[in-house]
């Protein structure tokens, strides 16, 4: 781990501390045993750069540790994400006339969940550093380079005659420490008339909705439109359009290219961010107090239920769940276990609090009175999937803001 001394984007040393979440384990490093010695923990601090409006964590963990080893996230396990990807691909195909001569590249392509929608319709190529997901993608017919995307790799692909008409990068622009090299690689690989479709979690939604559990060591950046625009332009790319999405608690889909062609709607949105002060320190200063109050309210609710004899389970062994559980600090014996639909995670333990990860059937078999939804961004899916549990009197708890779903 290294602590940054200057902004990753513009190199300014003037960084402002927004929020300190204490020492946290790596959110995606699930354990194979409940008690296997102390886990590494690292500071988790959110910093703002007034010079270029980038919101970022102050620590960098070696990406070889984060992504090369037993990386447990497989996108295809999430039905909502599959539907979201399919709809996105259909839109891109129609809008940009994607066909047999159009190379479509996805950066951080995971297990091929998105690119499989183009297979047989256009040439595709995935790039992902995680061994397990990349192998799964190959098995379903999605050619995948098992590596980190950078200028060196982009130049190699171009030298082989590959230039992309469309590059898709969903939820990866938050994960890269060498962000300028990363974005320069897009410029190299993108065809002169090509387009990049980024999806990024929206920092303004995170602040407004107090979604502090989306902060973890893999997420180095939390982008606003102003901050991301500055970052793209620094590397020769231009943000031309943006769409607000509800997925993941509030996201942006940003279209960028080699040429500046900003829509009036994007200009208005950028102006609105400026009016709110999104590019200034004051906008972020109350966030820490909001996080503290929200966590205290949730702890209080959970402790009252527990004191009254209720058993409380959790749903979702995701990264945000690890941040939430470890920040709450209620201890490994407070909750019953954590449910997750991914078979790759079942039988393992959450980092830090070391809760056993189990299959959904456990909820029906043991019927705990309450279940805390850690993956609140997919809460509707979770609740819809468990009518029997609710019919038997089970209740779900939403963590932010804390409330019981009746």
E strand map for 217-328:
221-222, 238-245, 251-257, 312-315
199-249 tens-digit pLDDT:
999 999 999 999 999 999 989 999 999 999 999 999 999 999 999 998 877
Q: Residue 291: what pLDDT?
A: 97
- Residues 143 and 208 grouped into a single domain: yes
71 pLDDT band, cuts 50/70/90, is: low
- Residues 355 and 253 grouped into a single domain: no
- Residues 176 and 121 grouped into a single domain: yes
Q: Residue 81: what pLDDT?
A: 87
Q: Supply the range of the domain harboring residue 310.
A: 305-405
Single pTM value for the model = 0.89
- DSSP codes of every residue in 133-187: HHHHHHHTT--EE-S---HHHHHHHHHTT--EEEEEEES-TTS-SSHHHHHHHHH
- Residues 108 and 207 grouped into a single domain: yes
Cis bond upstream, residue 401 (ω within 30): yes
- Residues 197 and 125 grouped into a single domain: yes
Q: How many domains in the chain?
A: 2
Question: Is there a domain that residue 300 lies in?
Answer: no
Q: Indicate the helix (H) or strand (E) that contains 83.
A: helix 79-95
- Phi/psi for 295 (5° steps) reads -65, -40
- Residues 257 and 366 grouped into a single domain: no
Check pLDDT > 80 for residue 64: no
Decide the pairing of beta strands 42-48 and 16-24. Answer: antiparallel
- Residues 279 and 326 grouped into a single domain: no
CA 38-41-42 angle, 5° bins: 165
Question: Is there a domain that residue 335 lies in?
Answer: yes
């Amino acid at each position: 781990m290294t602590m940054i001394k200057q902004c990753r984007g513009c190199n300014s040393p003037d960084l402002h501390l927004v929020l300190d979440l204490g020492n946290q384990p790596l959110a995606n490093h699930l354990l194979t045993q409940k008690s296997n010695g102390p886990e590494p923990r690292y500071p988790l601090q959110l910093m703002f750069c007034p010079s270029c409006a980038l919101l970022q964590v102050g620590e960098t963990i070696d990406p070889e540790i984060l992504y090369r080893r037993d990386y447990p996230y497989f996108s295809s396990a999430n039905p909502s994400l599959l539907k979201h990807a399919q709809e996105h691909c259909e839109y891109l195909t129609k809008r940009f006339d994607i066909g047999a001569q159009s190379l479509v590249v996805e950066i951080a392509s995971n297990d091929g969940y998105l690119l499989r929608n183009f297979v047989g319709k256009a040439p595709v190529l995935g790039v992902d550093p995680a061994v397990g997901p990349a192998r799964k993608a190959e098995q379903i017919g999605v050619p995948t380079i098992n590596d980190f995307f950078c200028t060196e790799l982009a130049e190699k692909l171009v030298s082989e005659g590959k230039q992309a008409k469309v590059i898709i990068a969903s939820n990866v622009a938050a994960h890269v420490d060498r962000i300028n090299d990363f974005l320069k690689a897009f410029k190299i690989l993108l065809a002169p008339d090509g387009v990049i479709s980024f999806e990024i979690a929206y920092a303004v939604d995170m602040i407004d909705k107090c979604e502090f559990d989306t902060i973890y060591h893999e997420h180095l950046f939390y982008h606003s439109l102003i901050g991301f625009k500055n970052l793209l332009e620094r590397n020769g790319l231009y943000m031309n359009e943006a769409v607000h999405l509800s997925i993941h608690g509030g996201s942006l889909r940003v279209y960028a290219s080699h040429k500046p062609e900003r829509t009036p709607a994007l200009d208005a949105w950028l102006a609105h961010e400026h009016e709110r002060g999104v590019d200034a320190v004051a906008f972020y200063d109350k966030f820490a107090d909001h996080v503290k109050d929200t966590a205290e309210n949730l702890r209080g609710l959970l402790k009252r239920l527990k004191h009254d004899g209720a058993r409380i389970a959790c749903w979702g062994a995701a990264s945000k769940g690890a941040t939430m559980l470890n920040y709450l600090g209620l201890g490994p014996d407070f909750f019953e276990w954590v449910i997750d639909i991914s078979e790759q995670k079942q039988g393992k333990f959450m980092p830090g609090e070391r809760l056993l990860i189990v299959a959904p059937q456990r909820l029906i078999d043991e019927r705990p009175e309450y279940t805390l939804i850690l993956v609140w961004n997919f809460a509707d899916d979770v609740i819809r999937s468990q009518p029997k549990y609710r019919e038997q009197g089970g209740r779900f708890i939403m963590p932010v803001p804390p409330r019981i779903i009746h």
